[in-house]
């Protein structure tokens, strides 16, 4: 390490920044977070416990101690700077050495981790300054715990780099080991014959209520959500677009829009037998939230659902934004664990039971199983809920025990429940926040596909998710199939549309026509309101949003040459047929793209006959994250002048490659990491 006038100036600046960070970290443990705007709305409440004896946590206020801690922080930042400028290391080696440094620092001075992360975050422009400050204060204690337990020299450290700093290390492609199911699949397993009857089931998702939404504020700000008064962090200059009362495409759900959506449910689905809510109550301001904010917003939102849906039973799962910090959910419960989310599981289970959505026995199960439960909404149907954070790559607790196929036990429990239902000759719906085909650990994604294949089509009648804020479906295929055909289609994931208009998508709700004996889906109906183009008009004319029936899946995707017989369900083959016909039917593909955004005028353009169309059709039948990655790779290079005549190739920038802070390192060679990422020797050329 060398010294220079610049380094000394850097050290002085760092001294004052870390002094502030130290006070912030100490206050986080002892009283309230120092980040403005979080505490005034809801008082802060912490679940910190200092039980990890491996770590040297202290709240010593002696000035000598502070000088020592400042020196440690300054030193680790300088070492990180030197690491980034290494002329001999590639980006993956740099990241993995950085993980080793992070572990040593977390074990030695865990209370300093949030402050140091905050400085590095702001210095390298990973996020806005205010977002860095708030997010690192919230995530820092969790990351210190994760770093301290991580096997940084092994698979854990590699996964943490690949997913925590996309672009640093090649993405893992590990395959899980074989599954030994309790019993073999019955011969000639088939879904039961239709009964000719029908009932309705509600499905809505991604509520994302923003209690701090303020009409008249900036709707086109530089934060990841707008329509708020951020005080001193407001964008300079005059307001470019005034936030309407009813919502905006870069904002979360205002209370007026949320209530309007609940009223629309009353009008369109008044006789639903029961309802599904596939998660995400909390707003997207992860850098501002507190435990109290999350808990109170969940309680108030569930109370609104109960008030408007009245006696309808609503079954709920947690989304990635329904925890504190956002996305984080530890799968392991050990006595020495530094942080725990037990408060969250106790809280939501209590509210769900109070609203009479689940029984006391189911609530107790949810408390001890990461808010997951099993219930029987009707005779002959079991509903299995999953906490999908347990295989989400942005849940940094999943960077622990990465060499294991099922560290949380989620898939073990899922198999036992499915086997129980097979033995009882009952049908099953699986419900979670996100489908395990994107942003999912590769082993988890493949395990889920194998499990679905084993228990389809005779047991699993439907899979229901949300998360993506779009109206979508995914056809799952047999893992042993050589190609995707109607015969290889085994099940369908129904991705529910969001209430929030964030990401330039109109709000929507959905309901299904369901066979009450077989519980197969007969039709799917989507209702939407054109917030994107009509919100200002409705507000100026003192009007309520106009909710309209956008489309029926059965009518839209039915094959006119081979129409589906009455009372026959929307089978996996039906949906695969729709995907296949989109290749030659531009009108059908254009309808899908329009309905995906819920008829948003600001939806990203995706034209038939382009690479976007090919990628979209690929994603609609991608059963695993590895297959989905192949689809995304189609957009790594955009082909201009589609048609093959003089096509010019234009590289497409990868917006996830944020690890662009190396200056002098050598170029990454993916082949050097085949063994670490799970690619067998000799298969480098065959990357699925």
Feature table: binding site for Zn(2+): 206, 208, 280, 320, 433, 467, 469
Q: Which strands, in side-by-side order, build the sheet including 274-277?
A: 313-316, 274-277, 199-204, 508-514, 521-529, 547-552
CA distances from 106 to 109, 114, 648 (A): 5, 10, 49
Do the Cβ atoms of 19 and 69 come closer than 8 Å? no
- Other CB atoms within a 10 A radius of the CB of residue 60 amount to 12
* Known binding positions: 206, 208, 280, 320, 433, 467, 469
Three-state DSSP state, 513: strand
- Identify the CA nearest to 554 among candidates 515, 586, 584: 515
**Per-position b or e across 346-376, b if 16+ CB within 10 A of its CB:** ebbbebbbebebbeeebbebbbebbbbbbbe
Q: Which two tokens stand for residue 365?
A: 């199960």
The b-or-e profile of 291-325 (16+ CB within 10 A means b, else e) is: bbbbbbbbbebbebbbebbeebbbbbbbbbbbbbb
Phi, psi of 551 (to 5 degrees): -165, 160
Cα–Cα distance measured from residue 188 to residue 457, given in angstroms and rounded to the nearest whole number: 10
Report the alpha-carbon distance of residue 33 to residue 19 in Å, rounded.
15
What distance in Å separates the CA atoms of residue 473 and residue 572, rounded to the nearest whole number?
A: 10
Q: Which residues of 528-559 are buried (b: 16+ CB within 10 A; e: fewer)?
A: bbbbbebbbebbeeeeebebeebbebbeebbe
- Could you give the CA distance from residue 414 to residue 411 in angstroms, rounded to a whole number? 5
Tell me if 181 sits within 8 A of 415, measured CB to CB.
Answer: yes
First-last CA distance in the chain = 43
Q: Would you tell me how many other CB atoms lie within 10 Å of the CB of residue 193?
A: 12
Extract the tokens encoding 329: 């959910």
Q: What does the DSSP 8-state code read for residue 498?
A: B
> Residue 8: exposed, middle, or buried by beta-carbon count in 10 A (0-12, 13-18, 19+)?
exposed
Cα separation of 578 and 559, whole Å? 7
Helix axes 63-84, 5-30, angle to 10 degrees: 120
Q: How many residues does the chain have?
A: 688
The residue assigned the tokens 């008030």 is: 307
3-state secondary structure of 464: strand
How many distinct helices (H) and strands (E) make up the chain? 19, 14
Residue 677, both tokens: 């990422």
């Amino acid at each position: 390490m060398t010294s220079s006038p610049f380094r000394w100036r850097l050290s002085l600046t760092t001294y004052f920044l870390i002094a502030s960070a130290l006070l912030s970290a100490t206050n986080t443990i002892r009283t309230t977070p120092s980040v403005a705007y979080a505490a005034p709305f809801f008082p802060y409440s912490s679940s910190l416990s200092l039980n990890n004896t491996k770590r040297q946590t202290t709240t010593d206020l002696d000035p000598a101690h502070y000088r020592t801690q400042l020196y440690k922080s300054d030193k680790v930042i300088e070492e990180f700077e030197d690491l980034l400028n290494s002329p001999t290391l590639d980006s993956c080696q740099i990241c993995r050495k950085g993980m080793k440094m992070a572990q040593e620092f977390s074990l030695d001075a865990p209370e300093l981790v949030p402050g140091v992360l905050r400085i590095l975050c702001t210095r390298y422009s990973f996020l806005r300054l205010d977002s860095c400050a708030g997010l690192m204060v919230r995530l820092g204690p969790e990351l210190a715990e994760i770093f301290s337990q991580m096997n940084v020299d092994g698979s854990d450290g590699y996964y943490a780099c690949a997913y925590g700093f996309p672009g640093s290390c090649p993405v893992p492609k590990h395959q899980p080991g074989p599954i030994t199911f309790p019993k073999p699949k019955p011969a000639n397993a088939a879904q039961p014959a239709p009964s000719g009857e029908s009932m309705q089931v509600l499905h809505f998702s991604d509520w994302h209520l923003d209690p701090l939404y303020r009409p008249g504020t900036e709707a086109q700000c530089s934060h990841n959500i707008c329509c708020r008064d951020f005080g001193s962090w407001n964008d300079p200059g005059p307001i470019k677009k005034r936030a309407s009362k009813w919502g905006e495409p870069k904002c979360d759900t205002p209370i007026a829009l949320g209530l309007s959506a609940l009223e629309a449910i009353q009008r369109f689905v008044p006789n639903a037998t029961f309802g599904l809510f596939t998660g995400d109550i909390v707003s997207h301001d992860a850098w501002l939230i507190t435990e109290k904010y999350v808990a109170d917003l969940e309680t108030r939102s569930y109370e609104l659902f109960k008030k408007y849906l009245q006696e309808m039973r609503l079954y709920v799962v947690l989304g990635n934004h329904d925890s504190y910090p956002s996305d984080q959910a530890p799968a392991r419960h050990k006595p020495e664990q530094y942080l725990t989310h037990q408060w969250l599981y106790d809280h939501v289970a209590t509210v769900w039971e109070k609203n009479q959505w689940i029984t006391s026995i189911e609530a107790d199960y949810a408390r001890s199983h990461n808010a997951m439960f099993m219930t029987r909404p009707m005779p002959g149907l079991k509903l299995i809920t999953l906490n999908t954070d347990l295989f989400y790559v942005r849940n940094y607790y999943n960077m622990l025990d990465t060499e294991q196929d099922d560290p949380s036990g989620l898939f073990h429990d899922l198999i036992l429940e499915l086997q129980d239902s097979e033995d009882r000759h009952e049908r099953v719906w699986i419900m979670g926040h996100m489908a395990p085909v994107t942003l999912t650990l590769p082993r988890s994604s493949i395990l889920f596909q194998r499990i679905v294949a084993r228990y389809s089509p005779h047991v699993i009648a439907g899979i229901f998710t949300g998360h993506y804020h779009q109206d979508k479906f995914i056809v799952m295929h047999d893992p042993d199939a050589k190609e995707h055909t109607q015969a290889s289609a085994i099940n369908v994931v129904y991705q529910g549309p969001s209430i929030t208009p964030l990401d330039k998508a109109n709000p929507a709700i959905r309901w299904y026509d369901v066979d009450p004996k077989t519980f197969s889906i007969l039709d799917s109906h989507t209702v939407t309101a054109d917030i994107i183009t009509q919100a200002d008009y409705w507000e100026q004319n003192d009007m309520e949003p106009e909710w309209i029936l956008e489309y029926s899946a059965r009518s839209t995707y039915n094959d006119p040459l081979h129409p589906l017989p009455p009372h026959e369900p929307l089978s996996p083959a039906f949906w695969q047929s729709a995907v296949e016909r989109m290749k030659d039917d531009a009108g059908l593909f254009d309808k899908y793209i329009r309905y995906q955004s819920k008829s948003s005028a600001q939806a990203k353009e995706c034209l038939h006959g382009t690479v976007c169309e090919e990628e979209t059709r690929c994603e609609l039948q991608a059963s695993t994250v590895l297959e989905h990655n192949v689809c995304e790779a189609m957009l790594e290079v955009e082909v201009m002048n589609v048609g093959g005549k003089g096509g010019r190739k234009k590289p497409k920038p990868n917006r996830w490659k944020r690890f662009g802070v190396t200056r002098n390192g050598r170029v990454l060679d993916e082949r050097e990491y085949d063994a670490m990422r799970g690619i067998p020797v000799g298969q480098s050329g065959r990357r699925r």
